[in-house]
Structure 1
Amino acid sequence: METLGDILQQLSLAQGPHTLPKHELLQDHERIRNLLSSQKARHAFAHTFSDHTPHSSKAPLDSLKRITISKLTADTVHYGRVLVCRTIAKPLKFVGVQTIIEDPIVGQGSSGMEVAAARLSLYNFANFTGPHSDLNDHLPIGTRLFIKEPYYKPGSQDAVLMIRCDSPDDIILVPNEQVGGKLLAGLRWSDALPIKYGLPIKRGLKPQFESVDGLKQKGNEQFARKDYASAIDSYTCALELDPNNAVLLSNRAQAHLNLDQFRQALEDAEGAVKIDGTNSKALFRQAKALYGLRLYEEVSSVLKKLDMASADTEKLNQHTLQRLEEQQHGRYDLNNIFQEARSKQPPILDHADYVGPVRITKIAGKGRGMVATEDIVEGTLLLCSKAFAIVFPSEFPADARQNVINQQQSLSHFYIVKRIGERLQREPWTATEFYNLSAGHSIPPMSNTLQIDSDRIAKIVDTNSFTPKTYDTSSSSPMFPSNPPSTESSSESDDSKGLGLWILASYFNHSCLANARYQNMGDFIFVRSTRDITKGEEICVSYVLPFDEYDKREKTFNDREFRCQCQLCEFERAQPEATRHRASLLDQFYEMHNAIAKNDHSIIPRLMKIIDELRKTYETAASTGINASTSVSANAAKRKGGKKNKKKTIAAASSSSTTPTFVLPPRQLQLGMFPPISVLFHLYRSCAQLQQAVKTMVEGYELLPQCGNFVHIRAETAVAICMAYQQLRSSEEEARWMEIAKKEYELLYGVSKNWWDNMRKI
């Protein structure tokens, strides 16, 4: 019996780019379609991976000149041209959506002549996963197409030349009013295939020989099979016959809800309620749609019209009240959110967004950024936001990497670009806020936000995405990096990471010594101030890991097309020789990773020598011209005063300047010493040299600034010192460091007894 693998192997035997006659293209296409249907396509891939930079046409249709398949050139994007063609085969979804297209007959040619045909592969068009053997309902045979600036390339399996399209906006399904337009003028087709115009789906087509009740029953059966898209089509056909049927509108609203199509669901539910205001199902579905659109105040208004005795209504009401508390006051039960994110796979959570005392504005020399609208106390929640799009490693198929031709790109990048394209296609009203994000300094603003521009999506992801952070709270040495810096790139390590894009969070610019820090839980990002911030001051987060060396940080900045001018970067630029020597010493330290993992105490002398050599590289700090205006003790004293007294202090500072300069003492610029010091503490503690361990780690804690990502390390370090004092049975010091750790965690997560109790259990 012939298998799908057999067919693909046969196709791959051909050598070199070439074309096939129409009948052979149709035969190969039909063989694959039949196999997909009979075998349910176990070998097919659920997602699309590109082997090139996706092309997306920026040209308006009326500026393009007509071209035919027979005039296309291999391995070429045909700029300034539009391909006029029609489909002649039932489309299928294998990797992308595939069909066969043919040229029209130009001029006075014979109707029976053989015209050029080609495969057409459409990527990022289907917003569902998995293979499908027949998509004729969505792209019927005979559909006329305009393909803007077509890309003609050899297929990856058999080198047969094909048209590849990565952007849905590059395909235009010819509407009725353009049948006689200039691009179609003088064209005829080789046979009498039925001609299709307009949007090629069932919606809007007049049903024939079916009753309203029959179509409703058909839709209900499809709904019961969870074929919600087909159910929507059946309900739509029924509504063509009976447009004022509230039950049909309500049923279609529920089908849209099950596909997370909340705006369409709201439109149908509101239509049903307008016809029948007593329809409780329609009212409830209206409330559910508003909830999905995150319009919680409107949800409350609708729920007041329903019987709260219903368990479903009461549950939705309770969730809505919780979301309003989050949205209006920034009050989140972080302990429950943390547990929820750990227990769900993937961790897609149901919570509201919150915007605190921040606003977007232009920042001199940087473009747009985020500033404080009032004086802000350290530990204040500034922003909570649900991801516009996010992917987690748990979502990657086991064989996904072997199907990626461009091995330099991570799976998370491919997946998130695809996911964003699907969302923009499904929810075009979200395009403006997405395309308003920076795609890099060299990319001008986008004029047509209705276009799905794959190339621009990828650049926006490159410029604005965050890697969701996770921390191993069970590790006895959480400060030591589990993956030390390497001079070699590793696609495997990249594939173990997720990627997320949050719209508002993208407007926070970078500083290595940031005054705020982001933390993600599931698909939500929380941004909290890590020190006092004055009104009008820019708020920054760090895009790099706390102890990344200067060269690695600089590469990240170059990739994102900016230059960091924080005190740490300026300090290290001012001492290039010392910075290079420091990097060499840290390389020696990271090479000891295996011995450290085995608790090999014999490396302690080597560690101590590396720490002493690192200390010497900082001896020139005083000569760099960097003046210290703050200290660890000053910050600690300020924090003891409480938030009321601190507000007065901040107000006094802000009255003199809206953009104060935060300067660290030279001691807290010696950050390269911390990783080996933290490991030395761990080794001392494992061999019961507890007094030496505590002395070592207290020095490490004093190195850490109260900035950005370092706050998390400060908290973990305080806990580690506390545990060491517990082993020493020094209850007074244990209690003191426990209080220090608690204050550090309040900076990270706010004042929350439940959260602190949970951290102590961990």
Structure 2
Amino acid sequence: MNFYDYLSMFMSENPHPTRSEILQRHDANRESLSSDGYHITNTHGEGSGYTSDASLWSLKRITLSQLTIGKVHRGHVLVCRTINKPIKIVSIMMAVEDPIIISNEGDTPPEVETGRVALYNFVNTSGPQSDMSNLIPVGTVLLIKEPYYKMAHDGMPMVRCDNPTEVIMVPNNGEDYPILAGLRWADTLGVSSLPAVKRRSGHSIESASDLQCRGNENSTRKDYAAAIDCYTKALGMEPKNVSLLLSRARTHLALQQFQQALKDTKAAAKVDGDNPEKQLLRAEALLGLRRNAESSAILEELAQSDAGNAKVGDLLCKIQKQAGEYEFGQYDILSIFQEAQSARLPYLNHADYVGPVTVVQIPGKGRRMVATGDIEEGALLLCSKAYAVVFGGELRHEGSSSTSAQSQLVAKIAHKLRREPKTTADLYELHAGQTMTPAFIERCDIGDNPKVDIDRITNIVRVNAFVPDVDHLPRTTADGPSSSGDQTRSSDPGKGLWLQPSFLQHACFANALHFTIGDLLFVRAMRQITKDEEVCVPFTSILEPYHKRRRSLQDRGLGECVCQLCSSERAQPQSTRDRRVQLLHEFDKMREVVATGGPDSLARLKDLVTNLRMTYPRASGGKTARSRKGGSAGAKTGAKTLLPPKQLQISLIGPLSVMVDLLSRSGQNEEALKVLLEIAEIEPRSGEIAHKRVDTAMRIARLYNSLGRVDERKQWVDVAKKECEVIYGADNGEGIWKEMYKKDKANFEMV
């Protein structure tokens, strides 16, 4: 029996701590928020998994003293009152007390039971906060539907609420809540029978009008989650307020929560009939739900009655544009990229596309994505909108960035399932690791209150999530893109789940490449793919050493990679792999010294490169099997593309790139050119190296330009353009190249 077993057994005999114990623990937690050593535990997987949809009027009152640990108290509602300032750690936590029942005015109030309440997913504020009384003032009456009572990690019980709809904060005197009839409160707070709860500013709890004003202010600041929270609370007081319904619908549209927006517009129409404003909002929601025919019918009718409405014309154009995206994969990548750059949170409204691929069941492997026919390099295979994504700008920093992103994505998916239960079938059929089999659910069996399986969702995210690119196009500087070709990324890039791309398999040397723009994920063929061949993308950086790539796959619950790179490295003696890791570690340590360009930096770096080469089998002499000028990489053998031995020497790319910088700074352009040409030989068109190939070609072009060798410069500019076309498509490649390298283009034209 472990510690928590003993603790639970003890608490079952003594389930309710005293008032002083609860208040002391709460004060200690508040003080710890200002301590640098404060540690927050991820508890997203510890909810009951149950969401109450019961009507308040159907529930019977239960008291804190009647709660049982580890139980969801179905059919009951807990009525309690806050007695101190709430704090926010991961959840909003507060101490509460039971009401008292007094039959006669002269009776002495009995001692009341005290407990703790933790409200999860109630606010969108960042980080811990020591005072949340602006949201829940001291003395607020809470009605908690079907409460879940559990043991917390600190050894004291609490009522845990994961869904804001399960908690009602009673406004004003609560005259509309019969369940409060006859109840009074102890005089600890100096509050008589259910008065208007006071904020620190002295104002009463907000009315529906106040909440709508605050919601409008939040919406203007683009704090849409807070705006929806205000509108929802206001609608709890005035459920038939059309202005509130339409305000919330607009905010749902801003967050691309189209199903909720459609529901609000329909509810508003039921109250006082339809009108152009509601029809336009409904058409926009239907467009977001890919119900283009219904949206188009509404818009065409509006266009006839209101020909001058620019918004109607814009939406009709968007429908036509999305038809081209959906049917033919015709995306204007550069404009989509600029659209994402201009948005604080890049939720984009574009159509999905499925190209010459399909998902099939492969015996012994499970469901995999394969080619439906022979595919040429550069072909668009998929464009998919995220099922759910958390961008870096949305992260609440409650731990390490990776843990925070994953836990918040799990919470967002759980919310989405409650809002859109029909998506449960698509989500639960995804691979959830070695220990969980996919759950195939018939859509007709899904009700309005689906089971939210946090463990399964967590495993699905762990195995299938992708990290959104912060800036997948190289950032231009005064001298062009960064010389090393590295992509600048945020320390907290976030995490997202895309359903269709979750059937892609991993390979370090993959036949396809994925990149994201906002919440859109694109997949393109990086070489020819034969009919029925599995489509693979790299799930980890192929520039990492073998042991790190392997550990990254294990963290995702995946097995060994069998690509050519991993197979060749596994075949090497362990001592050789260890020596390579040691040399790369030495290179990381000498980076700062080398960057200063000390007198012996170049010599030290050359020695390291020489030793690093010795950890690879000697490449055969003569011409490489792949010419950058010829475009396609490798020799095709059946469904496999065998890369030449030179392209297996990936670990040389980093040190050689730094060597080019040192040689260029010292004016040794001829030597720098030789090293760059070797890098061009090594770089395969796979993973993040596909983007580096573009930059390498342009660096070579710049050096040829500085040496006055115009013909060679033109050849390598063409190579760079060709690589852009493979990554972004023939229709987009040259335009993106011009945007990325416009300063180079201008400099070359001057020669």
TM-score (norm 1): 0.71
Q: Which residue of 2 aligns with 1:758?
A: 739
Query: Does the Cα contact within 8 Å between 1:372 and 1:535 map onto a contact in 2?
Result: yes
Query: Between Structure 1 and Structure 2, how many residues are aligned?
Result: 636
Q: What is the CA deviation profile of residues 565-586 of structure 1, one whole-angstrom value per residue up to 9, with x for unaligned ones?
A: 1111110011033222222222
Q: Compute the displacement of 1:538 (Å).
A: 0.6
Give 2:568's match in structure 1, choosing from 563, 571, 580: 571
Q: Compute the displacement of 1:88 (Å).
A: 1.1
Instruction: Indicate yes or no: 2:297 matched with 1:280.
Output: no
Q: What is the CA deviation profile of residues 399-448 of structure 1, one whole-angstrom value per residue up to 9, with x for unaligned ones?
A: x4xxx4x5595433343333333433444444433333333211344578
Q: Compute the displacement of 1:301 (Å).
A: 2.0
Query: Does the Cα contact within 8 Å between 1:232 and 1:256 map onto a contact in 2?
Result: no
Q: Which residue of 1 aligns with 2:379?
A: 380
Instruction: Indicate yes or no: 2:583 matched with 1:588.
Output: no
Instruction: Indicate yes or no: 2:703 matched with 1:703.
Output: no
Q: How does 1:108-123 map to 2 (within 5 A)?
A: 116-123=113-120
Q: Which residue of 2 aligns with 1:615?
A: 613
* RMSD of Structure 2 on Structure 1 (CA): 4.7
Q: Matched residues in 2 for 1:53 and 1:278: separation?
A: 42
Structure 2: give runs of 5+ residues left out of the alignment.
1-13, 53-61, 101-106, 169-178, 186-206, 220-226, 744-751
Q: What is the CA deviation profile of residues 272-293 of structure 1, one whole-angstrom value per residue up to 9, with x for unaligned ones?
A: 6689987222221211221333
Query: Does the Cα contact within 8 Å between 2:208 and 2:233 map onto a contact in 1?
Result: no
Q: How does 1:19-168 map to 2 (within 5 A)?
A: 21=18, 50-52=41-43, 54-57=45-48, 78=70, 86-89=78-81, 94-95=87-88, 96-98=91-93, 116-125=113-122, 131=132, 133=134, 141-147=142-148, 150-154=150-154, 161-163=156-158, 165=160, 167-168=162-163
Q: What is the CA deviation profile of residues 676-702 of structure 1, one whole-angstrom value per residue up to 9, with x for unaligned ones?
A: 222212221221111111111111111
Distance 1:25-1:134 versus aligned 2 partners, 3 A rule: farther
Query: Does the Cα contact within 8 Å between 2:95 and 2:115 map onto a contact in 1?
Result: yes
The one-letter amino acid of 1:459's match is: N
**SS of 2:524's equivalent?**
strand
**SS of 1:413's equivalent?**
helix
Give 2:251's match in structure 1, choosing from 238, 249, 258: 258
Q: How does 1:509-520 map to 2 (within 5 A)?
A: 509-520=505-516
Distance 1:27-1:699 versus aligned 2 partners, 3 A rule: closer
Q: Which residue of 1 aligns with 2:434?
A: 441
Q: Matched residues in 1 for 2:281 and 2:166: separation?
A: 34
Q: Which residue of 1 aligns with 2:346?
A: 347
Q: Which residue of 2 aligns with 1:334?
A: 333
Instruction: Indicate yes or no: 2:707 matched with 1:724.
Output: no
Q: Matched residues in 2 for 1:567 and 1:143: separation?
A: 58
Query: Does the Cα contact within 8 Å between 1:253 and 1:266 map onto a contact in 2?
Result: no
Q: Matched residues in 2 for 1:541 and 1:142: separation?
A: 50
The one-letter amino acid of 1:506's match is: S
The one-letter amino acid of 2:714's match is: A
Distance 1:265-1:443 versus aligned 2 partners, 3 A rule: same
Q: Matched residues in 1 for 2:49 and 2:665: separation?
A: 62
The one-letter amino acid of 2:575's match is: E
Distance 1:133-1:557 versus aligned 2 partners, 3 A rule: same
Instruction: Indicate yes or no: 2:359 matched with 1:360.
Output: yes
Q: Matched residues in 2 for 1:277 and 1:87: separation?
A: 38
Instruction: Indicate yes or no: 2:681 matched with 1:690.
Output: no
Q: How does 1:191-270 map to 2 (within 5 A)?
A: 192=183, 252-260=245-253, 261-270=257-266
Query: Does the Cα contact within 8 Å between 2:359 and 2:503 map onto a contact in 1?
Result: yes
Q: Which residue of 2 aligns with 1:748?
A: 727
Structure 1: give runs of 5+ residues left out of the alignment.
1-16, 36-41, 62-66, 174-187, 195-214, 241-247, 485-492, 623-629, 641-648
Q: Matched residues in 2 for 1:279 and 1:71: separation?
A: 51
Q: Compute the displacement of 1:746 (Å).
A: 0.8
The one-letter amino acid of 2:626's match is: V
Query: Does the Cα contact within 8 Å between 1:254 and 1:285 map onto a contact in 2?
Result: no
Q: Matched residues in 2 for 1:572 and 1:262: separation?
A: 48
Give 2:299's match in structure 1, choosing from 294, 298, 303: 303
Q: What is the CA deviation profile of residues 604-646 of structure 1, one whole-angstrom value per residue up to 9, with x for unaligned ones?
A: 1222222222222223678xxxxxxx9314x865759xxxxxx
Q: Matched residues in 1 for 2:301 and 2:24: separation?
A: 59
Query: Does the Cα contact within 8 Å between 1:723 and 1:734 map onto a contact in 2?
Result: yes
Identical pairs, percent: 31
Q: Compute the displacement of 1:349 (Å).
A: 2.8
Q: How does 1:513-552 map to 2 (within 5 A)?
A: 513-552=509-548
Q: What is the CA deviation profile of residues 734-754 of structure 1, one whole-angstrom value per residue up to 9, with x for unaligned ones?
A: 011111111111111112242
Distance 1:347-1:269 versus aligned 2 partners, 3 A rule: closer
Q: Compute the displacement of 1:57 (Å).
A: 3.9
The one-letter amino acid of 2:713's match is: E
Q: How does 1:628-639 map to 2 (within 5 A)?
A: 631-633=625-627, 637=630, 639=632
The one-letter amino acid of 2:561's match is: C
Query: Does the Cα contact within 8 Å between 1:671 and 1:704 map onto a contact in 2?
Result: yes
Instruction: Indicate yes or no: 2:651 matched with 1:672.
Output: yes
Q: Matched residues in 1 for 2:438 and 2:96: separation?
A: 35
Give 1:423's match in structure 2, choosing from 416, 419, 422: 416
The one-letter amino acid of 2:656's match is: I
Instruction: Indicate yes or no: 2:499 matched with 1:500.
Output: no
Q: Matched residues in 2 for 1:239 and 1:498: separation?
A: 36
Q: Matched residues in 1 for 2:395 and 2:213: separation?
A: 32
Q: Compute the displacement of 1:593 (Å).
A: 0.9
**SS of 1:370's equivalent?**
strand
Distance 1:101-1:430 versus aligned 2 partners, 3 A rule: farther
Distance 1:414-1:144 versus aligned 2 partners, 3 A rule: closer
Q: Matched residues in 1 for 2:277 and 2:167: separation?
A: 38
Q: What is the CA deviation profile of residues 70-97 of structure 1, one whole-angstrom value per residue up to 9, with x for unaligned ones?
A: 6999xxx848998976131159874234
Distance 1:435-1:103 versus aligned 2 partners, 3 A rule: farther
Distance 1:23-1:86 versus aligned 2 partners, 3 A rule: farther
Q: Matched residues in 2 for 1:236 and 1:104: separation?
A: 23
Q: Compute the displacement of 1:295 (Å).
A: 2.9
Q: Which residue of 1 aligns with 2:450?
A: 450
Query: Does the Cα contact within 8 Å between 2:116 and 2:157 map onto a contact in 1?
Result: yes
The one-letter amino acid of 2:652's match is: M
Query: Does the Cα contact within 8 Å between 2:402 and 2:492 map onto a contact in 1?
Result: no
Q: Compute the displacement of 1:542 (Å).
A: 0.5
* Higher alpha-carbon deviation: 509-518 or 309-318: 309-318
Q: Compute the displacement of 1:300 (Å).
A: 1.7
Q: Compute the displacement of 1:710 (Å).
A: 2.6
Q: Matched residues in 1 for 2:19 and 2:483: separation?
A: 63
Distance 1:437-1:127 versus aligned 2 partners, 3 A rule: farther
Q: Matched residues in 1 for 2:22 and 2:272: separation?
A: 53
Q: What is the CA deviation profile of residues 140-171 of structure 1, one whole-angstrom value per residue up to 9, with x for unaligned ones?
A: 645452427x23443xxxx8x34153744997
TM-score (norm 2): 0.72
The one-letter amino acid of 1:677's match is: L
The one-letter amino acid of 1:631's match is: A
Distance 1:19-1:555 versus aligned 2 partners, 3 A rule: same
* Higher alpha-carbon deviation: 226-235 or 449-458: 226-235
Q: Matched residues in 1 for 2:350 and 2:599: separation?
A: 48
* Higher alpha-carbon deviation: 705-714 or 501-510: 705-714
Query: Does the Cα contact within 8 Å between 1:668 and 1:705 map onto a contact in 2?
Result: yes
Q: Compute the displacement of 1:50 (Å).
A: 3.9
Distance 1:364-1:695 versus aligned 2 partners, 3 A rule: farther
